[in-house]
Amino acid sequence: DPGANPEFLTGIGLGLGVIAAVTVTFGNLAAYSQTNVKRLLAYSTIAHAGFMLMAVSALVVVLANGASVPGFDVPEAARMCVEGLLFYLFVYLFMNLGAFAVVALLRNQTFSEDIESFNGVGWQSPALCICMAVCVFSLVGLPPLGGFWGKLVIFMSLFNIGEVHWFMWVLLVVGGLNTVFSLFYYIRILKAMFMREPAEGARPVEVPSAISNYALLIALPVLLLGLFPTWTTSLAHGVATWLIP
């Protein structure tokens, strides 16, 4: 019963929010300093876990303290938190799987995971690199890709619940700034692929068409979830309504 001890539960929610802010910031800062693409993506995973934790923080805060705000629709705000979290989890499965798959496939060709080993591969294996571009831009949260809608719903939840507790607006600012910051290290991958010449003596990348098609197949849901988000948001909303009637 959230009303049994609202101060205690609000404290838990705010504590989770602080952890989420630290997690997002640490993950992005650690990723920014990496030259190994796999480690860069691994640290960025920490940042994305922080974004998901923001939704959990907002959910706890609104359930514990939302009734204190006259006219505030607590169930609807709570359902939006759950909906955003579920959508983010679903799309993150594909965009993260796609990015790591491309790194693994290119490593098998170049025998390296360093960003410099990816120089110029965008013109040698365009399908793989298009897949990486779709996944990377979705990880940043750019439209019209699935990651955009995942972050948008979570950010909308934080904005609405800021009426219940101002710290949710602080989380929203932290999340927005980290989203912009993440673009700087993600774009380094695409810059190497499409805007730099291969190093002298670098192994040529020759990826079979079947493997390239597999990578594109993974990236396709990321694009479709962005173009047609209602397919998943309707399901997530149904689950959220079942959990929070």
**Spans of the chain, pLDDT less than 50:** none
Residue count (the chain) = 245
Residue 46: its pLDDT value, please?
95
- Pairwise CA distance, residues 79 & 110, whole Å: 46
Residue 4: its pLDDT value, please?
60
Distance of CA 171 to the CA centre of its chain: 15
Give the chain's mean pLDDT: 90
3-state DSSP assignment of residue 36: strand
Structure tokens belonging to residue 115: 């960003």
Residue 224: its pLDDT value, please?
92
Residue 20 and residue 46 in contact, taking contact as beta carbons nearer than 8 Å: no
pLDDT digits (tens, 9 = 90+) for 217-234: 889 999 999 999 888 888
Residue 2: its pLDDT value, please?
54
Residue 57: its pLDDT value, please?
95
- Pairwise CA distance, residues 162 & 57, whole Å: 12
Quote the crossing angle between the two packed helices 126-140 and 209-227, to the nearest 10°.
30
Residue 202: its pLDDT value, please?
67
Of the candidates 15, 25, 77, 14, which has an alpha carbon nearest to the alpha carbon of residue 48? 25
- Pairwise CA distance, residues 114 & 127, whole Å: 20
DSSP state of 197: P
Which region holds residue 71: left if phi is over 0, alpha if psi is between -120 and 50, else beta? left
